[in-house]
Amino acid sequence: MTSDLDSLQQLASACAACRRCGLAEGRHQVVVGRGNPRARLLLIGEAPGAQEDLEGLPFVGRSGQLLDRLLQSAGIDSNRDVYICNVVKCRPPDNRKPSAAELAACRPWLEQQIALVDAPLVVLVGATALQGVLGIKGGITSLRGQWRPWQGRWLMPILHPSYLLRNPSERPGSPKALTLDDLRQVRERLAQLPAPL
| Chain residues in the site for ligand URA (CB under 6 A) | 45-49, 52, 58-59, 61, 63-64, 86
Q: How far is the CB of 191 from ligand URA (least distance, A)?
A: 26
**3-state SS assignment for residue 79:** coil
CB of 54 to ligand URA, least distance (A): 12
- 3 vs 157, beta carbon nearer ligand URA: 157
Least Å distance, CB 17 to ligand URA, is 20
Other Cβ atoms less than 10 A from the Cβ of 55: the count is 16
Helix axes 4-16, 100-117, angle to 10 degrees: 160
- The closest residue (CB) to ligand URA is 45
| 91: nearest Cα among 49, 40, 133 | 49
- From the list 90, 110, 107, 113, the residue with the least C-alpha distance to 39 is 113
CB nearer ligand URA, residue 7 or residue 65: 65
Other residues' Cβ atoms within 10 Å of the Cβ of residue 146: 11
Tell me whether residue 46 or residue 68 sits nearer to ligand URA (CB atom). Answer: 46
Task: Tell me whether residue 165 or residue 196 sits nearer to ligand URA (CB atom).
Answer: 165
As a whole number of angstroms, the distance between CA 132 and CA 97 comes to 11
Tell me whether residue 63 or residue 179 sits nearer to ligand URA (CB atom): 63
Q: How far is the CB of 131 from ligand URA (least distance, A)?
A: 12
Spatial separation of the C-alpha atoms in residues 136 and 73, rounded to whole Å: 29
Task: Count CA atoms closer than 13 A to 15's CA, side-chain side.
Answer: 29
Shortest Å distance, C-beta 195 to ligand URA: 31
